[in-house]
């Protein structure tokens, strides 16, 4: 019998909590794993329990080197839980915040490696074959820096399919169930349209834009402001903020960020192909591992201590599987209190009214219908959005977006490697950046399933 000795909580998001656990089995078998379970306040909501079990089913069907693997699902006396592989590394959200504090940028060759790995994971998910032999696109719907893990081994993993949608099961256009970090939601989803794989392409485009500029693309003091920025705010070219961004890479970024999905990069596979044409030498796994280990050496030392405590502590709570089907959890949950239902309904109504107002303003803008076949030429430089430190959206972002240019085919990559790109330096800080906290001051967070704002201070 396999048992899990659950240790410290190492992460918490809007829906779930994550614990580091020690898996033990016959013949001295032992392994560090991660246990994910719903927060206590959501256990009484059947919709969230059903969504949690759907995540287990979808995750178990995936086997890809750039997707975190789910090894087990169980039910104890408290709640259902997922068992996932433990990843020793840092989330992209933490990496970008840490580098910003130091006044540094992500090296361009590592940017290619990270985005290319995530694109490969999405390509696999968008054409997934389930155990019963059926095939369907699984749309992640939450491709954000918090859900991208960069490991000290050089691996890059996409995490958290908690709000993923299986296309064969998608029948509604439910604005009430709009989930994920609002600064990364695709515009057509914000307006209530059906889920499609191109939404993941848009989200990855936002992540790539932010990796190149080290700024937040769609800022706002609340979710409604962020959704408004996504639908209406002009999107500046990365080179208008940080110089030395290669033109071909900028074309790919702006292609992914087309608001009209018909004009956007059509698939994660196409995105991965064009990314390979934008660089002659992406970083190798070994190069990336050495950079991660050197750049985040203190965090790595702290994580080693955390792993050691997990293996040696005798204060674990042993998690044993109960008898019966895991799916029976949905039949045992209690209905939420009436006041809680009323509060949720009022919040959903407020969000619905705001989105309907955005939809009306969006409908007056003509949309092209010609499908994109290749990344377009660079857009004209647009006004620069406010940096993260000043998230208020200026009034001029309400101006209509310039009409997109007709996409042009990129020339094939040169037969010889291009000249090496000079290292991009971040703008000089106005005051000395604070030093990274010591391992003792660091919060015990692996950030495997963090649905909070990844750019919050």
Residues 6+ apart with CB under 8 A from 79: 37, 38, 43, 329
C-beta atoms surrounding 352 within 10 Å: 14
Q: What is the dihedral of CA 198, 199, 204, 208, to 10 degrees?
A: 90
For residue 209, which of 254, 156, 275 has the smallest C-alpha distance? Answer: 254
Residues 6+ apart with CB under 8 A from 112: 275, 278, 279, 282, 283
Helices and strands (H and E) in the chain: how many: 12, 13
As a whole number of angstroms, the distance between CA 237 and CA 245 comes to 10
For residue 121, which of 146, 145, 96, 138 has the smallest C-alpha distance? Answer: 138
Does residue 174 contact residue 242 with C-beta atoms inside 8 Å? no
Give the DSSP letter string of 372-410.
P-SPPPPPPP-PPPPPTTS-PPPGGGGSPPPPPPPP-PP
Give the DSSP letter string of 336-373.
PPHHHHHHHHHHHHHHHHHHHHHHHHHHTS----PPP-
Is residue 43 within a helix (H) or strand (E), and if so which, with residue range? Answer: none
Does residue 191 contact residue 154 with C-beta atoms inside 8 Å? no
Measured in degrees and rounded to the nearest 5, phi and psi for residue 367 equal -120, 130
As a whole number of angstroms, the distance between CA 156 and CA 154 comes to 7
What is the three-class DSSP state of 72? strand
Q: How far does CA 281 lie from the centroid of its chain?
A: 25
For residue 253, which of 202, 304, 321, 194 has the smallest C-alpha distance? Answer: 202
C-beta atoms surrounding 433 within 10 Å: 14
Instruction: Give the Å distances, CA to CA, from 201 to 115, 116, 119, 272, 370.
Output: 11, 12, 8, 10, 18
200 is catalytic: no
For residue 206, which of 174, 170, 180 has the smallest C-alpha distance? Answer: 180
Catalytic: which of 127, 132, 142, 155? Answer: 142
Does residue 11 contact residue 20 with C-beta atoms inside 8 Å? no
As a whole number of angstroms, the distance between CA 116 and CA 278 comes to 11
Q: How far does CA 218 lie from the centroid of its chain?
A: 15
Does residue 362 contact residue 375 with C-beta atoms inside 8 Å? no
Which residues are tagged catalytic? 142
């Amino acid at each position: 019998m396999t048992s899990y000795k659950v240790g410290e909580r190492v992460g918490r998001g809007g829906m779930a909590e994550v614990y580091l656990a020690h898996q033990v089995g016959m013949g001295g078998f032992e392994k560090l794993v991660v246990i994910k379970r719903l927060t206590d306040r959501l256990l009484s909501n059947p919709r969230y329990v059903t969504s949690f079990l759907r995540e287990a089913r979808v995750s178990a069907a995936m086997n890809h080197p750039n997707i975190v693997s789910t090894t087990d699902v169980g039910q104890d006396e408290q709640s259902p839980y997922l068992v996932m592989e433990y990843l020793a590394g840092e989330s992209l959200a933490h990496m970008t915040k840490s580098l910003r504090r130091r006044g540094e940028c992500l090296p361009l060759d590592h940017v290619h490696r990270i985005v290319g790995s995530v694109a490969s994971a999405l390509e696999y998910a968008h054409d997934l074959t389930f155990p019963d032999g059926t095939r369907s696109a699984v749309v992640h719907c939450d491709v954000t820096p918090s859900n991208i893990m960069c490991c000290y081994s050089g691996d890059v993993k996409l995490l958290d399919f908690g709000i993923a949608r299986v296309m064969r099961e998608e029948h509604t256009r439910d604005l009430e169930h709009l989930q994920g970090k609002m600064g990364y939601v695709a515009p057509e989803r914000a307006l209530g349209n059906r889920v499609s794989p191109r939404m993941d392409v848009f989200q990855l485009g936002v992540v790539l834009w932010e990796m190149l500029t080290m700024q937040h693309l769609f800022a706002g003091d609340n979710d409604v402001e962020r959704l408004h920025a996504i639908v209406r705010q002009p999107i500046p070219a990365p080179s208008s903020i940080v110089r030395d961004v290669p033109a071909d890479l900028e074309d790919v970024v702006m292609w992914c960020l087309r608001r009209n999905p018909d004009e956007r990069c059509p698939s994660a596979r196409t995105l991965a192909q064009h990314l390979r044409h934008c660089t002659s030498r992406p970083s190798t796994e070994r190069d990336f591992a050495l950079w991660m280990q050197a750049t985040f050496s203190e965090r790595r030392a702290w994580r080693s201590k955390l792993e050691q405590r997990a293996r040696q502590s005798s204060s674990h709570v042993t998690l044993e599987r109960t008898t019966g089907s895991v799916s029976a959890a949905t039949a045992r949950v209690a209905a939420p209190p009436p006041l809680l239902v009323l509060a949720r309904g009022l919040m959903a109504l407020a969000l619905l009214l705001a989105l309907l107002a955005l939809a009306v303003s969006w409908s007056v803008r003509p949309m092209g219908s010609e499908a994109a076949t290749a990344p377009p030429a660079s857009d004209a430089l647009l006004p620069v959005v406010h940096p993260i430190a000043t998230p208020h959206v200026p009034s001029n972002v309400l101006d209509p977006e310039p009409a997109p240019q007709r996409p042009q085919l990129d020339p094939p990559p040169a037969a010889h490697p291009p000249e090496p790109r000079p290292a991009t330096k971040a703008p000089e800080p106005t005051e000395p950046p604070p030093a990274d906290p010591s391992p003792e001051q660091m919060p015990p967070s692996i950030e495997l399933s963090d649905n909070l704002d990844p750019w919050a201070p």
